[in-house]
Structure 1
Amino acid sequence: MGAALSAGCATDPPEPSPVPVREHVDGAGRPITLTVGVFGEFGYQEAGLYDAYMRLRPDVEIRQTSLTRNDVYYPQLLTHLTAGSGLADVQAVEGGNIAEVVDTQAGRLDDLRSAPGVDENAFLPWKWAQATTPDGRTLGLGTDIGPLALCYRKDHFAAAGLPTDRKAVGRLWAGDWRKYEEAGRRFAERAPRGVAFTDSASGVFAAAVSGAPVRYYDAHGDLVVATNPYVRAAWDLAAGFARQGLTARLQQFTPDWDQAFARGSFATIACPAWMLGYIQDKAGPTARGRWDVTVSPRPGNWGGSFLVVPSAGRRRAEAARLAAWLTAPEQQALLFARRGAFPSASAAYRLPEVTDARHPYFGDAPTGPLFAAAARGVPPAPVGPKDGLVHQILSDTGMLQVDQTGRSPDSAWRAAMKAIDNALDR
């Protein structure tokens, strides 16, 4: 979350149904303080949502704490949940961690299904299900998601003799990741000097596996990564990109990757909604209008988070009310308009902040309707307790070696499976 996105004119958040203001509820003539713990830049503070809520509720003061990286934030969250202390009133949970939280921390989190302002029907069903226990308790409210598109450089496509209109480009690979690979081979035949078709094999793998109906765990919570044909198909696809020289052999979210955007070193990238702001930031103003965005070969979701309310909190009812308001469709739509976090509340897709959203950096691409259609097409898929860790190993231990060192796909696959078993004590 937190990718900057210009999506048209955003107004102040509409006020939800008024609630009674319980002045001085702490008994000492002071507003109550609610704390929100997040990782990275969630955008609530930057988009002015906390200020809007405090105007609505003058008896509430909100304070946010943030750690930059989830790999630091999440272990601390688990430690504090186990201890029942050191927690914020509202805590964020990354999507790759939500299954473990639901499985192991259910007794330490409040059920938010009946919290004031919560409407299950306003959310995408698969997002709602990810934070719901088998007995029907909903422990987290969805914030953003990462519906998938493909971003591409129009100038590089023109130089390689490929179409540049976003609809025509989308038709190149509609419905099939192998067509995306075929487009890559066509691009390579006449590619501008020093320009690869895509940034990384790991990015191709992440995008392709994000649309699988079964990924690393099955519906019973069993790890199936080693035998799942969907995962192996995504692996073989990505490895093919590496072995054919279609990638820039980069590792995502590194300084070299950032610099490659500025240099224009690759022509396409798998592009969840939050990636738009990242591209705009790293490619800079000189690339404005050179990038465009179109449909991905298949729908998928890459990213997204939740808000939970720890049961050890002192202001649990007020915390639940705040979490519900922050994740309501109106606020999610506004956050998309101001910060680029695409809503997990499908009811937001009917609001003008989404329906009218266009991105001037990407040639006024209709990003709201494009990502809304992608979100509706995401297949429900089980999320396992170590989804994030498994994916990191596949990308950084496995596919990165295929891409950067030329290791054979089979050898790298075996190494990744061994690393996963070791990491999970199997």
Structure 2
Amino acid sequence: MRTARAARRAAFRMGALALAGSLLAACGGSGDGGSDSAGGDVTLTVDLFGSFGYKEAGLYAEYEKLHPGVTIKQTDTEDEADYWKSLQTRLAGGGGLADVQAVEVGRIASVAQQQTDRFEDLRKYGADSLESQFAPAKWAAANGKGGEVLGLGTDVGPEAMCYRTDLFRQAGLPTDRTELAKRWATWDGYLDLGKQYKAKAPGKSAWLDSVGSLYSVMIGQQKERYYNASGKLIWETNPALKAAWDTSVEASEAGLSAKLDQWSPQWNQAFAAGSFATIPCPAWMLGYIKGQAGDAGKGKWDVAALPGGAGNWGGSYLAVPKAAKHKKEAYELIKWLTAPEQQAKIFTKQGNFPSSTGAITKIAGATDPYFSGAPIGQIFGDAAKAAPVQVLGVHDQNVAQQITNALSEVERKGTASDQAWKNAKKGVENTIG
């Protein structure tokens, strides 16, 4: 979920969005009947990375009420990389696995291509009947070579740009989201506006949080990133990736970054401190901003279309390991959690954009008072429609992590771009061979 990062690496306080009355009414149903498919007292364990918002939105409590005798217990790991490493260890040993395990979109190719023997084929429980409910690319990414359905999609990460209107105003920049979308229609325009901001920046604020987030959102605009359609690793020779790298380095060298490592305590604190004016913003970032900036940030933020066109950063799946104790009951839970009604509810609480086509229709008119009344349903909906269908590779997340680590060296240590690129290459080789 939070691709990317993916993302939502930390639990956060949720803020409610303002939706039209018809949307709220549409979200009121359960999406499933009230029958108890668990067939008795069952404790279902759910293991996630970060917060997916299910507990915060009251969905677990609602499901338990609809299914007497079912109790849901959730655990989560803040950092997705730590979560994935632990999951791989437990899958190899066959023990310590939850009934439901989350899989980040950057890992789903690994599951679909290399781990079909470790996860349940959900077709045996009737999952093949759900295909029409999901965006085609989201559904297909979790299919094994034999057609196995290895997970159900939670969200996707259509991208926009979030910005602080109060800081923009103090720096003499326009705050209207439509005007800004025109001014930064390209990434060059975005950097140019950042240089203008830097010249009159209030306090010690920077233009953006980190070049790692800039790189992540830019590479999310590409169909081919780390692998090509034939499964060949191409990141070193991919001109689109190199362009994202070069733009990120330029932003660092121009002094536009606050030099904050994403997901670090310092990065979290910076949202409330006003340490940066813009942040590349996949839909799931909305809830994160609310949690970190708090009530004092309400009305100071806004959302505009992304420079350079639409893209996707993040999204996740819910899967059932073969070693799960309650497989059928676990499937019934993830079927319900990923149904259109529940995906729409999560969007109203957190901003995670649905992968369910039915839910996308439901939230089209959504606005958010926290973000100055921004029409987030339209902004992220348009981005989702225009985003490329990305080629997913087995080691997408590993490669991405090494590149962002190297970019952090550029902005934090002043490492030269060429040397940082070599460091990224070495890191990839050490990680995936």
Question: Residue 406 of structure 1 is aligned with which of 403, 409, 414?
Answer: 414
Task: Measure, in 2, the Cα distance between the counterparts of 1:278 and 1:370.
Answer: 18
Task: Measure, in 2, the Cα distance between the counterparts of 1:114 and 1:295.
Answer: 42
Residue of structure 2 in register with 1:288 after alignment: 298
Question: What is the root-mean-square deviation of aligned Cα atoms in Å?
Answer: 2.3
Task: Measure, in 2, the Cα distance between the counterparts of 1:65 and 1:395.
Answer: 27
Question: Residue 15 of structure 1 is aligned with which of 30, 36, 39?
Answer: 30
How far the C-alpha of 1:377 sits from its partner, in A, is 1.8
Question: Residue 356 of structure 2 is aligned with which of 329, 337, 345?
Answer: 345
- Is 1:336 equivalent to 2:347 in the alignment? yes
Residue 248 to residue 86, structure 1, CA distance change in 2 (3 Å): closer
Residue of structure 1 in register with 2:246 after alignment: 236
> What does the per-residue CA deviation read over 1:86-121, in whole Å, with 9 as the maximum and x for residues that have no partner?
222221112222111222210222222564475212
TM-score, normalised to structure 1, is 0.90
Greater CA deviation, 383-392 or 9-18? 9-18
On the 8 A contact 2:112/2:145 being kept in 1, the answer is no
On the 8 A contact 1:22/1:59 being kept in 2, the answer is no
- Is 1:355 equivalent to 2:370 in the alignment? no
How far the C-alpha of 1:144 sits from its partner, in A, is 1.8
Unpaired runs of 5+ residues, structure 1, are none
Task: Measure, in 1, the Cα distance between the counterparts of 2:126 and 2:30.
Answer: 14
> What does the per-residue CA deviation read over 1:302-336, in whole Å, with 9 as the maximum and x for residues that have no partner?
22211111223343222222211111111111111
Q: Secondary structure at the match of 2:235?
A: coil
Residue of structure 2 in register with 1:64 after alignment: 74
Partner AA of 2:358 in structure 1: A
Residue of structure 1 in register with 2:394 after alignment: 385
- Is 1:165 equivalent to 2:176 in the alignment? yes
> What does the per-residue CA deviation read over 1:267-293, in whole Å, with 9 as the maximum and x for residues that have no partner?
111011222222223333333322211
Q: Secondary structure at the match of 1:226?
A: helix
Task: Measure, in 1, the Cα distance between the counterparts of 2:43 and 2:293.
Answer: 40
- How many residues are matched? 416
Q: Secondary structure at the match of 1:149?
A: strand
Give % identity. 43
Partner AA of 1:400 in structure 2: S
Residue of structure 2 in register with 1:101 after alignment: 111
Partner AA of 1:83 in structure 2: G
Residue of structure 2 in register with 1:365 after alignment: 374
- Is 1:326 equivalent to 2:334 in the alignment? no
Residue 99 to residue 232, structure 1, CA distance change in 2 (3 Å): same
Residue of structure 1 in register with 2:5 after alignment: none
Q: Secondary structure at the match of 2:401?
A: helix
Residue of structure 2 in register with 1:203 after alignment: 213
Q: Secondary structure at the match of 2:153?
A: strand
How far the C-alpha of 1:237 sits from its partner, in A, is 0.7
Greater CA deviation, 329-338 or 40-49? 40-49
Residue of structure 2 in register with 1:43 after alignment: 53
Q: Secondary structure at the match of 1:133?
A: coil
Partner AA of 1:338 in structure 2: K
Unpaired runs of 5+ residues, structure 2, are 1-7
Residue of structure 2 in register with 1:111 after alignment: 121
Q: Secondary structure at the match of 1:76?
A: helix
Partner AA of 1:364 in structure 2: G
How far the C-alpha of 1:164 sits from its partner, in A, is 0.9
Greater CA deviation, 97-106 or 285-294? 285-294
How far the C-alpha of 1:245 sits from its partner, in A, is 1.5
Residue 114 to residue 329, structure 1, CA distance change in 2 (3 Å): farther
How far the C-alpha of 1:201 sits from its partner, in A, is 1.4
Partner AA of 1:35 in structure 2: T
After superposing on structure 2, the runs of 4+ consecutive aligned residues of structure 1 that deviate more than 6 Å are none
Task: Measure, in 2, the Cα distance between the counterparts of 1:119 and 1:303.
Answer: 22
Task: Measure, in 2, the Cα distance between the counterparts of 1:416 and 1:20.
Answer: 52
Q: Secondary structure at the match of 1:305?
A: strand
On the 8 A contact 2:29/2:341 being kept in 1, the answer is yes
Task: Measure, in 2, the Cα distance between the counterparts of 1:284 and 1:36.
Answer: 27
> What does the per-residue CA deviation read over 1:118-155, in whole Å, with 9 as the maximum and x for residues that have no partner?
52122122222221123322211111222211011212
How far the C-alpha of 1:52 sits from its partner, in A, is 1.8
- Is 1:134 equivalent to 2:145 in the alignment? yes
On the 8 A contact 2:37/2:332 being kept in 1, the answer is no
Residue of structure 2 in register with 1:418 after alignment: 426
Partner AA of 2:71 in structure 1: E
Residue 111 to residue 13, structure 1, CA distance change in 2 (3 Å): farther
Q: Could you say which structure has the larger radius of gyration? A: 1
Partner AA of 2:385 in structure 1: R
Residue of structure 2 in register with 1:270 after alignment: 280
How far the C-alpha of 1:59 sits from its partner, in A, is 4.5
Task: Measure, in 1, the Cα distance between the counterparts of 2:268 and 2:317.
Answer: 27
Write the mapping of 1:74-93 to structure 2, written as runs, cut at 5 A: 74-93=84-103
Partner AA of 2:120 in structure 1: D
Q: Secondary structure at the match of 2:237?
A: coil
Q: Secondary structure at the match of 1:197?
A: strand
How far the C-alpha of 1:417 sits from its partner, in A, is 0.8
Task: Measure, in 1, the Cα distance between the counterparts of 2:31 and 2:169.
Answer: 48
Partner AA of 1:399 in structure 2: L
How far the C-alpha of 1:60 sits from its partner, in A, is 3.1
- Is 1:224 equivalent to 2:234 in the alignment? yes
On the 8 A contact 2:311/2:384 being kept in 1, the answer is yes
Partner AA of 2:162 in structure 1: C
Greater CA deviation, 359-368 or 188-197? 188-197
Partner AA of 1:286 in structure 2: A
Q: Secondary structure at the match of 2:188?
A: helix
Task: Measure, in 1, the Cα distance between the counterparts of 2:37 and 2:233.
Answer: 48
> What does the per-residue CA deviation read over 1:344-369, in whole Å, with 9 as the maximum and x for residues that have no partner?
21220111xx2342222211111122
Residue 178 to residue 80, structure 1, CA distance change in 2 (3 Å): same
Partner AA of 2:407 in structure 1: M
On the 8 A contact 2:49/2:76 being kept in 1, the answer is yes
Partner AA of 1:119 in structure 2: L
Q: Secondary structure at the match of 1:215?
A: coil
Residue of structure 2 in register with 1:301 after alignment: 312
